[in-house]
Structure 1
């Protein structure tokens, strides 16, 4: 199977619909498999699911998921939505949620699982939250000796 070398990018426009996180995960799996980055699937799925779920929960309109490989073995996921509020993990608040916290656990996973993350306010309103995952080639190939 032929693959496209990085850089490559896909953008998935999602309606404000509770099925959006599942559609985002299915699309992500297909893209990673096609680009031979399937070993990132578990981590990338978790991260994308958290970001898309938050976009659905805290914004009123449609949102988008962008998948991009800026270079080999690195994936950047970005979610744009209409809510301008940037959540605490993306503001540099690194404290984990308390044992009784009802919110904040999902985005705390971003801190634990992403190699890098960030946020940008958008000029026309809303925000972009992004995360990066890097393939661990040692785990992918194992010890060949």
Structure 2
């Protein structure tokens, strides 16, 4: 049975915090022996967290956990309870500067979704994705 764990990193509404999240995620996965997931997980977390920071006014959080089944769950929490914009097909947004985030998440993750959340004491939502262990 795989080791389970759960980390949460709270960040201010600052685009520089996206780099902090990416590097923290790399460290978490490396320390837990999941180096094979690092590149894809970094890409997904960067898209989720940058959307949270760009499209909302309040703080955000990166949550990363591993289930007993070995699935790595990556979620970005923000203060806006509204759903994210539905992703467009990757072929339609591949050349655009913006609007690729959730299309990349949909293309690279095993599953993704969103849910309302009051976990951190504020109304908001998690946009999340899952990666099977490599």
Q: Give me the whole-angstrom Cα distance separating, in 1, the residues matched to 2:91 and 2:43.
A: 18
Residue 35 of structure 1 is matched in structure 2 by 32
Q: Give 1:59's match in structure 2, choosing from 35, 56, 66.
A: 56
Residue 116 of structure 1 is matched in structure 2 by 111
Residue 142 of structure 1 is matched in structure 2 by none
Superposition deviation, residue 105 in structure 1: 1.2
Rg larger in structure: 1
- Report if aligned partners of 1:6, 1:72 keep a CA contact under 8 Å in 2: no
Q: Give me the whole-angstrom Cα distance separating, in 1, the residues matched to 2:7 and 2:90.
A: 32
Superposition deviation, residue 18 in structure 1: 1.6
- Report if aligned partners of 2:90, 2:107 keep a CA contact under 8 Å in 1: no
- Report if aligned partners of 1:97, 1:105 keep a CA contact under 8 Å in 2: no
- Report if aligned partners of 1:10, 1:68 keep a CA contact under 8 Å in 2: yes
Superposition deviation, residue 98 in structure 1: 3.2
Alignment of 1:10-29 (within 5 A): 10-29=7-26
Residue 67 of structure 2 is matched in structure 1 by 70
Residue 88 of structure 1 is matched in structure 2 by 85
TM-score norm. by structure 1 comes to 0.79
Residue 41 of structure 2 is matched in structure 1 by 44
Q: Give me the whole-angstrom Cα distance separating, in 2, the residues matched to 1:8 and 1:121.
A: 22
Q: RMSD across aligned C-alpha pairs, in angstroms?
A: 2.0
Superposition deviation, residue 125 in structure 1: 2.2
Unpaired segments ≥5 residues, structure 1: 137-145
Superposition deviation, residue 88 in structure 1: 3.1
Q: Give me the whole-angstrom Cα distance separating, in 1, the residues matched to 2:21 and 2:96.
A: 27
Residue 134 of structure 1 is matched in structure 2 by 132
